[in-house]
Amino acid sequence: MSNGNGNDKPVRSLEDPNFKTCLQDARFQNQNATKWCFTMFVDFHKCERLLGEGSDCCGQFKKVYRAICPNEWVQKWEEQIEEGNFPVDLPEKRNK
């Protein structure tokens, strides 16, 4: 399937068996996904700071926020974390 803009890169269809997204979260039914997105981003960073970077337990949080959050938001939040002005207090990074 072509994307119709002259670029022959195939477009992924919803019927594609490799197309995956996250399941619904009962806490965020019938709501704008903004809060869900932000909550999963924060929970991922809290999880990694408490359990260590690369912890398998944190993978689901990352999968969800990467599926539902706009990339621009994620980049902005990551910059804020690096600069120390993120609006949520995150635990100190765990020493390895």
Which of the pair, 49 or 4, is modelled with greater confidence? Answer: 49
- CA–CA distance, 58 with 62 (Å, rounded to integer): 7
Instruction: Count each helix (H run) and each strand (E run) in the chain, helices first.
Output: 3, 0
Domain boundary assignment for the chain: 32-83
- At the top level of CATH, the class of 32-83 is mainly alpha
Query: For residue 11, is pLDDT > 60?
Result: no
pTM of the model: 0.68
